[in-house]
Amino acid sequence: MVMEFFRSNKQGGIEGVQEQLVQMLQDGHDVFITATNALFGGGKSKATKKEVRATDREINEAQREVRRALMVSASVNATELPLVLQYASIVKDAERVGDYAKNVYDLVRYGADFSESEDSDELDGYRVAVAQLILDAADVFEATDADTAQQLIGKADEFLAEYEKHIKAAYNSDGTAADAVARALYYRYLKRITAHVMNLLTSLVQPLDRLDYYDEAPEDR
């Protein structure tokens, strides 16, 4: 793929961007784990809130650093432009993983607690799957492993349909409004995190013009 070619022919300027993107995913995973631990019985606390916000700020600063590096590279080395455009597209996806993970903690702040829910095992199973997806994506992206990236994309695409099904089920729920809203938002955040991870992985398997469509409905990609 074009990204691999330009990585092997860099002359300077953006050598650290790939590592920063990997770190952003890992930090997003940390936010997700902290937020979901609170949602599944940990509850809200000043310490958890501080940790979530601090890590999210680190992700945001990393995004700004990446953008600055890309601007410099684009201005001094035209041969890196395709890679610059690839990174410029996917850095926002890495940042959004942290954003939506942070939104999960908002559910805790509003009073949600899934630890005693009848469907707690199912809810927890999906959070485990998403947490693993983020880590796997970081490893695959770091290794520029296109074959495994394609496998992850296919696996994650199946989860998107499941999350959408649960969102619709929450809308039609006979339970309390608070429970329905919490579940609908939870699955919505899982869906968005998954889609942004998939968008990032497309940089390993798709040309530039085909990036950034997994946060669209399948029929609109």
Instruction: For residue 32, give the CATH number of its domain.
Output: 1.20.58.220
Tokens 């300027």, residue located: 13
**What's the confidence (pLDDT) of residue 5?**
34
Q: Calculate the CA 47 to chain-centre distance.
A: 23
Residues of the chain with pLDDT under 70: 1-13, 79, 209-221
| Nearest-angstrom CA–CA distance, 58 and 126 | 26
Mean pLDDT of the chain: 89
Per-residue pLDDT tens digits for 9-38: 344 457 789 999 999 999 999 999 999 999
Nearest residue to 23 via CA among 137, 132, 127? 137
| Nearest-angstrom CA–CA distance, 87 and 129 | 26
**What's the confidence (pLDDT) of residue 94?**
97
**What's the confidence (pLDDT) of residue 168?**
95
Which domain covers residue 182, as residue numbers? 2-220
Share of the chain above pLDDT 70, in %: 87
| Nearest-angstrom CA–CA distance, 7 and 150 | 19
**What's the confidence (pLDDT) of residue 75?**
82
**What's the confidence (pLDDT) of residue 145?**
95
Total tally of structural domains belonging to the chain: 1
